[in-house]
Structure 1
Amino acid sequence: MEQIVCPNGVKIVTEKINTTRAVSIGIFVRAGSRYEQAHENGMTHFIEHMLFKGTTTRTAQQISQTIDRIGGELNAYTSRDHTCYHVTVLDTHAEQGLAVLSDMFFNSVFDKEAIEKEKRVIYEEMAMDEDTPEEYLADHFYQDLYANHPLGRPILGTKATIENFTQAAILQYVKKYYVPEHIVVSLAGNISDTLIEQVRLLFGAFSGETQLDSVAPVFCVGDYVYEKSVEQAHFTLAYEASKRGTEESYALLVLDTIIGGTTSSRLFQTVREQLGLAYQIYSTTSLYEDIGTWLVYVATNESEFPLAKAKVQEVIQEIYHNGVTLEEVKDAITHLQGSFVLGMESAESHMTRNGELLLHGLTVRTVDEALVRIGEVTVEEVNTLAKKMFSTSVATGVIMPI
């Protein structure tokens, strides 16, 4: 694995994997919904869509056809703190994939008619999330959990903000955030030195400078209730957790696995297998540069909701008071190591992991190095973290059927 820093500040990370014929290229931009002003909410995600809508030399259809014809995959995603545009192709088509991806990145036209059309597409994406109780709860809960902070705003934005997006506003946003210091290009797979040099020439030559405007959010505890026409009660419970990149975050991974990260976890076995109260129940983490959240989600019958909620809290309190066992920690570590390795079987997974780590200023460990670090987590570390995290106040959110 190698890293290159271009004179303009763009960082390039490469990982050659000669056991695959795939090449995956990703452009990571430190632009996400948490950096948006209130009137810009949804702009980052909107721009992600617009980069597929045509350049000075290719129409939207030509962009898609070029990659489809060579059997590749071209896609993108927007998170709360970054955006990624990526392509995966055969090694024989690597230069063609790079040409399309870089053309989209540097030469998108942001056509006014296409902007208005894409607004309607995103309204439908919003409607899809509104129709999905889990997504609906997450969006509304985040707004209360991080009240009055951009981190709590929906990544998609709102109809009120999106309807006011203009070509001029989009171009101004791109100029502000799509600058060298905010960009990492990640390559993984059967990549050649020629391809790496092409990336360096393409991305090391443009200019621009800006500073990210972001303050740390405050974790707002409370009990939040939302109403929606649904068949089940949907419940989430959250504690403030370690921020991204701390040594404590490894113990958090193990703790999360033990509590609700697998089908053998305490929550799954208690709430679903033993009591039959839910089909879906899990725990997960969301970690950012200045704050972290650990949460539980469960969906259950309205009449069973009080019992399901009580059982979730009982599992957490049991661990708070008595801790987890050495056997649980060992099993969780083995699970994490196995799932991590299996999840890294593609060139795209290597590209994504390396790009995200470098973009956020984290150590880019090899797979083997990461496995060693996971294996170093002790039962004492996990129990110390559980005691610390579960001694703080909790935030809850619930959708109750109307």
Structure 2
Amino acid sequence: MRKASSSLVRQGQHLCKASLQRSLTTAPSPTVQITTLPNKIRVATESTPGHFSSVGLYIDAGSRYESPESSGVSHFLDRMAFKTTSTRTDAEMSAAVHSLGGQIMCSSSRESIMYQSSHFHQATPKALSLISDTVLNPSFLAEEIEAQRDAAFYEVREISSKPDMILPEVVHNVAYGSKGLGSPLLCPEDRINSVDELALRTAMKEWYKPERMVIAGAGMRHEELVELTDKYFSSLKSSPVLTSSQTRTSPQVPPHLLSPSSPAVTKSLTRAASYLFPNSVSDVINSWDSAYTGGHRFIADTTQEFNHLYVAFEGVGIHDDDIYALATMQVLLGGGGSFSAGGPGKGMYSRLYTHILNHFPQVDHCASFHHIYTDSSLFGLFASFVPASSGLRGGNTPSQILPHLVHQLSLLLYTPIPEAELSRAKNQLKSSLMMALESRAVEVEDLGRQVLVHNRKVPVTEMTDKIDLVKPDDIRRVAARVFGPKSGNKPTIVCMGHEETGAWEDVFTKYSVAGP
């Protein structure tokens, strides 16, 4: 990811093209306009006041669509953004980026790659020019790729040394295997030297098609962004092969802010997923379907200060009507660190705080998580705690902590959910949605991802109304569906640290929670 900020640059040129052909899609909100250009690239704007503008390009791409032979290309496309192009040297690109007076960045995730800029209003033409240049005209110089290899080696090793960042990746790999959603966000170390110009251009040829792109913006006139998009992206030709994203029924659930704030390599509220499945025509890069299998992995590391234990199950995908109940359940479980400067609004009354952290001082961190994707999700709990072998008083083995986590899941299955507790969780979820959208960058990213998914912007009032409809019986029903004894859903268990988990299957059997 690359960011830059500095002084204001004015760019006042306004493009007028009366003959521009476009079709306007009716939007659900009077502040949102969506236009599809002749080459099928979609342009969406939201009319909201502010001192800054933001614009972004959102592409249906990412590590989910990598094959074993192309593993790591998404990570390198991210790192190679805003380098030398056929029209700008690296120095010229860097100077232009720094002149925007805001931020410009690229980020890749499992199901999307985005290029986004936040800047002063008059810098929108320049920002979109830079985005189009790095997307359409990259040089991929050998020396720049080599420099990013060195940086990638450092990044991978740095993240691998931090359990809160690398273990969510391990959980995905154990849950889904080595393809699809199990593919790593970071380029594997043994692949770093294999990612070259050919691999990057092959990926871009496959993924960077206008029908798989959305340009979203806020802080500018819709007509201005349409004209700028036509100016900078009209050279892209749409593919004669329709992607399944154009034939998929639009879901009634927004894919954005339901993702957790749990630690991960990418942990923006809106970055847990984007949500399309292209039908690949490449023999090198494919859209891998993901099959959840569950499983167990122990990573022995006696250098760790704490043991780390993750328990996960396959949840429902973003298209499923139960997504709101599952998101509410995650907030209800809540959790956090053993020390918090916050109050009730920070989750201090959530179950993992009141039932785990407040009773077991040896537990340093305990929280729920929910990673949402198009056709699947990962829902679960994790805990970090003092090892029994540390010699410190109160140390525990994973086999001693696991029953407490599984017990919390069983309470959702077999005990009533108090109305007051559910109401608090729903209010916290609604609050997190609305407060996140106060950020202009999040607002634009949210708009781009929603249009990428289902060709419309879902109003926040529609989301909050659906959250309000969640009842206690819905929580218990969805809990039974995800990890009940009749769900057929196997757990994913990942442990890192000093001691193994032991006979973890017996714990699930004891509490009548879905087991092996």
Pick from 339, 362, 383 the counterpart of residue 277 of structure 1: 362
- 1:369 Cα deviation after fit: 2.6
Aligned equivalent of 1:297: 382
- Paired residues of 1:277 and 1:300 also in contact (CA < 8 A): yes
Aligned equivalent of 2:316: 242
Q: Which structure's relative contact order is higher, taking Cα pairs within 8 Å and 6+ residues apart?
A: 1
Separation (CA, whole Å) in 2 of partners of 1:156 and 1:259: 29
- 1:377 Cα deviation after fit: 2.0
- Paired residues of 2:65 and 2:111 also in contact (CA < 8 A): yes
- Are residues 189 and 298 of structure 1, via their aligned partners in 2, closer, same or farther at CA, if it must alter by over 3 Å? farther
Aligned equivalent of 1:102: 132
- Are residues 363 and 245 of structure 1, via their aligned partners in 2, closer, same or farther at CA, if it must alter by over 3 Å? farther
- Are residues 374 and 197 of structure 1, via their aligned partners in 2, closer, same or farther at CA, if it must alter by over 3 Å? farther
- 1:220 Cα deviation after fit: 1.7
- SS of the aligned residue for 2:88 comes to coil
- Render the CA deviation track for 1:85-117: whole Å, top value 9, x for unaligned: 100001122222222222212121111111111
Aligned equivalent of 1:322: 415
Separation (CA, whole Å) in 1 of partners of 2:166 and 2:60: 26
Residues 305-320 of structure 1 mapped to structure 2, 5 A cutoff: 305-320=398-413
Matched letter for residue 192 of structure 2: I
Separation (CA, whole Å) in 2 of partners of 1:365 and 1:140: 33
Pick from 52, 59, 82 the counterpart of residue 52 of structure 1: 82
Pick from 137, 142, 155 the counterpart of residue 112 of structure 1: 142
- SS of the aligned residue for 2:438 comes to coil
Matched letter for residue 461 of structure 2: D
Aligned equivalent of 1:221: 294
Separation (CA, whole Å) in 1 of partners of 2:402 and 2:158: 27
Pick from 22, 33, 45 the counterpart of residue 14 of structure 1: 45
Separation (CA, whole Å) in 2 of partners of 1:132 and 1:185: 35
Matched letter for residue 122 of structure 1: A
- SS of the aligned residue for 2:291 comes to coil
- Render the CA deviation track for 1:237-288: whole Å, top value 9, x for unaligned: 0011001132211111101100126332111222212222322221111121
Q: TM-score, normalised by structure 2?
A: 0.74
Please tell me whether residue 397 in structure 1 is matched to residue 471 in structure 2. no
Matched letter for residue 337 of structure 1: K
Q: Judge which range, 290-299 or 233-242, deviates more.
A: 290-299
Please tell me whether residue 124 in structure 1 is matched to residue 154 in structure 2. yes
- Unaligned stretches of 5+ in structure 2? 1-31, 242-278, 281-285, 336-346, 389-395, 500-516
- 1:190 Cα deviation after fit: 4.2
Q: Tell which structure's C-alpha radius of gyration is larger.
A: 2
- Paired residues of 2:180 and 2:289 also in contact (CA < 8 A): no
- 1:172 Cα deviation after fit: 1.8
- Paired residues of 1:20 and 1:190 also in contact (CA < 8 A): no
Pick from 80, 92, 95 the counterpart of residue 110 of structure 2: 80
Separation (CA, whole Å) in 2 of partners of 1:173 and 1:388: 37
Separation (CA, whole Å) in 2 of partners of 1:314 and 1:291: 24
- Paired residues of 2:81 and 2:106 also in contact (CA < 8 A): no
Separation (CA, whole Å) in 1 of partners of 2:407 and 2:83: 51
- 1:315 Cα deviation after fit: 1.0
Q: Judge which range, 240-249 or 266-275, deviates more.
A: 266-275
Aligned equivalent of 1:346: 439
- 1:69 Cα deviation after fit: 3.0
Higher helix share: 1
Aligned equivalent of 1:2: 33
- Render the CA deviation track for 1:27-57: whole Å, top value 9, x for unaligned: 1111111111101111011012112212122
Separation (CA, whole Å) in 2 of partners of 1:200 and 1:382: 47
- Are residues 99 and 215 of structure 1, via their aligned partners in 2, closer, same or farther at CA, if it must alter by over 3 Å? closer
- Are residues 330 and 22 of structure 1, via their aligned partners in 2, closer, same or farther at CA, if it must alter by over 3 Å? same
Separation (CA, whole Å) in 2 of partners of 1:278 and 1:337: 29
- Paired residues of 1:91 and 1:191 also in contact (CA < 8 A): no
- Paired residues of 2:450 and 2:456 also in contact (CA < 8 A): yes
Aligned equivalent of 2:473: 380
Number of residues of Structure 1 aligned to a counterpart in Structure 2: 401
Separation (CA, whole Å) in 1 of partners of 2:147 and 2:358: 47
Q: TM-score, normalised by structure 1?
A: 0.94
Q: Judge which range, 385-394 or 202-211, deviates more.
A: 202-211
Separation (CA, whole Å) in 2 of partners of 1:149 and 1:63: 35
Aligned equivalent of 2:457: 364
- SS of the aligned residue for 1:223 comes to strand
Residues 199-214 of structure 1 mapped to structure 2, 5 A cutoff: 199-209=229-239, 211-212=279-280, 213-214=286-287
Matched letter for residue 283 of structure 1: S
- Unaligned stretches of 5+ in structure 1? none
Separation (CA, whole Å) in 2 of partners of 1:135 and 1:196: 39
The share of aligned pairs that are identical, in percent, is 22
- 1:363 Cα deviation after fit: 4.9
Aligned equivalent of 1:136: 166
- 1:400 Cα deviation after fit: 2.1
Separation (CA, whole Å) in 1 of partners of 2:134 and 2:287: 28
- Paired residues of 2:33 and 2:222 also in contact (CA < 8 A): no
- Are residues 323 and 105 of structure 1, via their aligned partners in 2, closer, same or farther at CA, if it must alter by over 3 Å? farther
Separation (CA, whole Å) in 2 of partners of 1:45 and 1:10: 24
Residues 251-266 of structure 1 mapped to structure 2, 5 A cutoff: 251-260=325-334, 262-266=347-351
Separation (CA, whole Å) in 1 of partners of 2:454 and 2:81: 26
Matched letter for residue 135 of structure 1: M
- 1:364 Cα deviation after fit: 2.1
- Render the CA deviation track for 1:196-219: whole Å, top value 9, x for unaligned: 321233234411536333343222
- 1:401 Cα deviation after fit: 2.5
- SS of the aligned residue for 1:80 comes to coil
Q: Provide the alpha-carbon RMSD of the alignment.
A: 1.9
- Are residues 284 and 362 of structure 1, via their aligned partners in 2, closer, same or farther at CA, if it must alter by over 3 Å? farther
Pick from 164, 173, 180 the counterpart of residue 150 of structure 1: 180
- Paired residues of 1:321 and 1:387 also in contact (CA < 8 A): no
Separation (CA, whole Å) in 1 of partners of 2:206 and 2:296: 38
